[in-house]
Amino acid sequence: MLSRKQQEETKEVARRVLEDNKYEVSFNEILYRRTVPSKKFYVHQWKWDSATHAMGLIHLDPERAYDELRSLFAGQWENGMIPHMIFNPAETKYFPSADVWGTGHHARGEIITSGITQPPLITKSVLYITEHDSDKERAGRFIDEVLDKLVDDHAYFKKYRDPKDMGLLTIVHPWETGTDNSPRFDDAMERIELADIPDRVKDLNKRRTDIKLGKAAHRPTPQDYYRYLYLVDLFRQWQWNYTTIIEQSPFAMQDVLFNSLWYEANRCMALLCRKKGRTKEAETYEAWADQTKEALLTLWNPEFKQFIDMDVAKGRSVMIRENTNAIFLPLYIPDLPEEILEGLLQKLSDPQEYATSFPVPTTALNSPKFDLMRYWRGPTWPITNLFIIEGLGRQNHPKAKKLQENIVGKTLAVIAEQGFYEYYDPTLQNYQLSNKHKDEKALGFGSFSWTAAIFLYLYHNYIVTGEK
Ligand code: DGY
């Protein structure tokens, strides 16, 4: 547990990280104010990062929280999709750069974006920041300003990503989940033969900057990148036509993490619509949330005692059983059936799986795929902890409450002790004891805005008010 002094000091550092990562950019003669994830590498705007930044910024500077989201909405495509990245043309540090995507025909004037999306956290963010703004009139005006944009975003997901109306969205690139190299994508991605990837695409890999600016051991492998870039190249050839992409992409998954956040987004959307007296629409989003809830429950596998993902590329229907922390995201569904809840709580309490010194690792410790330092294959990330913390709060079970307290306390303590990194060694304690790899507890890029925003969010929701 952090002392009051440590809390205050760390809050101040969080504020400074978000301040240092702020930048302004003009497009179409409008000035946008936004926050980069990290000046060391991630120098553009990312969808789910920014949605989270706003949820921290609301506690520091509400106008900045609103501006952060305004800037994201500015990149929305005509078909309703909010892309996962909006580029800053003044920056060259990050790869893959704007020219790789070839999305120019979708651009709104000068605003150049990627061609895929990311989890629909923005709806939750709009609800959260407007509920936590003490100026209720301003909050109401902001909902009026963006509600129809959210309607278009949800309509895009429903129309293009769930064309058979099953309640489950399909993602077509691991980057869409934000958990790029999670083991749950291995089998599906390995179906793409490296030999089939043209040299021209493989050559793009030479432009990678992440492994020069950061540590290669913390980042996805070259084989991962060949396949990531191959998918981008393919979709580009199909001119980012999402009917074609969904039907023909060699990679397509119904992912539990993404769909749990879709469930949550529809729940939040219904609440936003109700606030504005848009009752009929609220009922639609409630129905979508219910439909997704039922569909997610069918992905529980009683034999494996975990949720599974579905590889649905080109009409396939193949179960993916990887023990990653994505299986905990359906905790967002309140009062899960007893068997499911017991199964998940058991895994979260098991030191062989997820009860590590700094929980919750992205892959179970005893999985053959566990990799201590490599991005989403083992390290603990504050963002997935936030989801699990919130989900545990929806369950009426004493063990859930205890687990939640433990994860909140450790997340805040590790951030305070190790600094504002992307991700952390989940076995921290062991390394401290053995004093081995002592510089490798905090991983990825530092001065990371997401982590600063999450610190503020957890502090305000679980320490200051003690609520949930
Ligand atoms: C990266 O560059 O690591 C991102 O996750 C892709 O969006």
Which of 49, 95, 180, 215 should be mutated for ligand 1, with most atoms under 8 A from CB? 180
Q: What is the pLDDT of residue 433?
A: 41
* Joined tokens for residue 389: 């913390």
SS3 label, residue 47: helix
CA–CA distance from 403 to each of 254, 346, 359 (Å)? 28, 11, 10
Helical segments of 167-278, H only = 174-177, 186-190, 199-204, 210-213, 222-237, 242-248, 256-275
Ligand 1 atom nearest residue 118's Cα? 7
Query: Mean per-residue pLDDT for 413-423?
Result: 94
* Joined tokens for residue 166: 């099953």
List of long-range contacts for 397-406, beta carbons under 8 Å, 24+ apart: 397/341, 397/345, 399/345, 399/349, 400/341, 400/345, 403/345, 403/348, 403/349, 406/359
Query: Mean per-residue pLDDT for 187-205?
Result: 97
Ligand 1 atom nearest residue 180's Cα? 5
Q: What is the pLDDT of residue 464?
A: 78
Q: What is the pLDDT of residue 441?
A: 83
* Ligand 1 centre distance from Cα of residue 350 (Å): 31
Residue nearest to atom 6 of ligand 1 (CA): 175
Ligand 1 site residues, Cβ closer than 6 angstroms: 84, 175, 180
- Cα separation of the two ends of the chain: 18
Q: What is the pLDDT of residue 52?
A: 98
Ligand 1 atom nearest residue 178's Cα? 5
| pLDDT(465) > 70 | no
* Ligand 1 centre distance from Cα of residue 181 (Å): 10
pLDDT tens digits, 102-119: 999 999 999 999 999 999
* Ligand 1 centre distance from Cα of residue 175 (Å): 6
Q: What is the pLDDT of residue 436?
A: 47
Q: What is the pLDDT of residue 439?
A: 58
pTM summary value:
0.96
Residue nearest to atom 4 of ligand 1 (CA): 175
Ligand 1 atom nearest residue 220's Cα? 3
* Joined tokens for residue 123: 């709806």
Q: What is the pLDDT of residue 219?
A: 96
Query: Mean per-residue pLDDT for 45-65?
Result: 98
For the chain, the average pLDDT equals 95
Query: Mean per-residue pLDDT for 78-91?
Result: 97
| pLDDT(122) > 70 | yes
| pLDDT(467) > 50 | no
What confidence category does residue 301 fall into, taking pLDDT thresholds of 50, 70 and 90?
A: very high
* Ligand 1 centre distance from Cα of residue 180 (Å): 7
pLDDT tens digits, 372-392: 999 999 999 999 999 999 999
Residue nearest to atom 7 of ligand 1 (CA): 175
Query: Mean per-residue pLDDT for 314-326?
Result: 97
